[in-house]
Amino acid sequence: MLHAALFLFLAGLSLLIWGLDRAVARTLLSLTAALVAFYSNALPLLPLSINYCRPGLFSDSVQLAMPGISALRTGVAQLQVKLTSFASRDGLSWYLWLLENIYQREPRINQERRTIQSLIAELDAVSIDWIVRNCPAPDVVTVACQAVGALSPVSPTAGIIRKGEIVLDRTDRYLRESFGHAVPRSRAEVGVRAPDFARTLRSLFCLTDPTVPYLDHRLPPVLDWAEGIHMYDLPLLSVPLRHERCAYEGDVSIPARWHDWLTTIRKREPRPRILTNTVLQILRLSTEESSMEITITLLSLLNVQELQLTDLDSVAKFLAEPIRSHDHSDHNCDSRCVLGLLSQVILHPESFQIGDGVVDSAVETMRHFVLHLRLPKETLNFGVFRPEDRRALHSFWEYIASEYVSLTRWTYQ
């Protein structure tokens, strides 16, 4: 039956490829006919002796494998005896012994994992530094320099890169060579090169120490290119550039003062999607000049859905001056201090000389922090508040934890 099926298959295949290649089909038909003739005429004439026992190769392989199988059985039996022997000693069974060994290995495994995690930031920084120093392709070096702008300004990687001056020098050189000596010929050219300019300038701001007067003499030669940058990148550029020719979509000029510019943005779009990294850069570069009103407005512009709890710690470091209304000398500022600052603004706006609109922004921002970051009530350090404020804070926390209550209905009595 198997031979008959094979012959039928070859015949069908020959007919199938007859229309494609007749030479191959004829060859295949000839071979099929020869095989059929052999099986039909020559094979019955041959004397056959059929042995119904197992083939010699199989029997020989089984005989060769038997010693190994016997040794494996002996080893398994001995292992079972060793494991079950713990049952009669100190009340331990073999599975408890295995768990004990796993628990002993866990601290070492966790230590190795923590070591690897601690090296990630250094490895990233060294990789970028190596590319900038040794890569001969200018485009690759430019991408490596611009990649720094995507880092959080307080990330360990940014801190390590900031210590070395090679990346800062190459970024500054690329900015001056690409935009410092050429005047834009048209607004279309400005719009085309605006993303490249924005990424480079963001990297420059991330690498620059805000306490060093570095930007004052570096930025004026490239101001002509700042006009066409997208409105979501302009918060990073408006105050450091101090340039009223900067414009966002709609050709509306940027006022020199932060409050006027932020008010214009909020009127245009109630909650603009400004990058979290951009707002963190603003807070890092201009903490000393920011008033409480500007600070709260900046916090309200954060994209909370992209914000992590560690980013709140970064915000607290940038808000060292505003949150010194309480004693923070005994601890490092963290997310509790940011929430405490917002709580103080909500409870006592008259102390900060701010209006109702800023208080509403503080309430909205704090609620977004609580809902999206799932912060528990214990996040607030209630010990730093006055006794009459603690009760109000407890009730306020319960209030903002409800997603179905309108914020406008809550008032502090």
Q: What is the pLDDT of residue 375?
A: 56
Of 328 and 16, the structure prediction assigns the larger pLDDT to: 16
pLDDT at 28: 78
Does residue 235 carry a pLDDT above 60?
Answer: no
CA proximity to 27, closest of 9, 12, 14, 37: 14
- For 254-304, the pLDDT digits (tens) are 444 455 555 555 555 555 445 566 667 666 665 444 566 666 766 766 666
pLDDT given for residue 405 in this prediction: 41
- The mean pLDDT of 36-47, rounded to a whole number, is 68
**pLDDT computed for residue 52 by the predictor:** 47
Higher pLDDT, 313 or 144: 144
* Residues 378-411: tens digit of each pLDDT: 555 555 555 555 555 666 666 555 544 444 443 4
For the ranges 57-71, 195-209, 363-377, the lowest mean pLDDT is seen at 363-377
Tokens representing 378? 């214990």
Predicted local distance difference test score (pLDDT) of residue 92 = 52
Most confident of the ranges 66-70, 215-219, 240-244, 289-293: 66-70
Are the C-beta atoms of 94 and 86 separated by less than 8 Å?
yes
* Whole-angstrom distance, CA of residue 366 vs CA of residue 108: 40
C-alpha span between 197 and 390 (Å, rounded): 48
Average pLDDT over every residue of 93-108: 66
Range scoring the smallest mean pLDDT among 104-118, 198-212, 302-316: 302-316
Q: How large is the average pLDDT for residues 163-188?
A: 79
**pLDDT band for position 227 (50/70/90)?**
low
Is the model more confident about 371 or about 239?
Answer: 371
Between 395 and 154, the higher pLDDT residue: 154
Q: Are 298 and 266 in contact (CB under 8 A)?
A: no
Unique residue bearing structure tokens 């909205």: 364
Q: How many residues does the chain have?
A: 413
Counting residues of the chain whose pLDDT is more than 90, the rounded percentage is: 0
Helix (H, G, I), strand (E, B) or coil at 247: strand
Q: Give the closest residue to 276 by CA, choosing from 318, 243, 239.
A: 318
| Band of residue 136 on the pLDDT scale cut at 50, 70, 90 | confident
Q: Please, what is the average pLDDT of the chain?
A: 66
Burial class (CB in 10 A: 0-12, 13-18, 19+), 95: exposed
Name the band, by pLDDT with cuts 50, 70 and 90, for residue 204. confident
pLDDT of residue 196: 82
Question: In the prediction, which pLDDT does 252 show?
Answer: 39
Q: Which of 138-142, 307-311, 332-336 has the highest average model confidence (pLDDT)? A: 138-142
Query: In the predicted model, what is the mean pLDDT of residues 348-375?
Result: 67
pLDDT at 254: 41
Reported confidence tier of residue 224, pLDDT bands at 50, 70, 90:
low
pLDDT for position 245: 39
Looking at residue 90, its pLDDT comes to 52
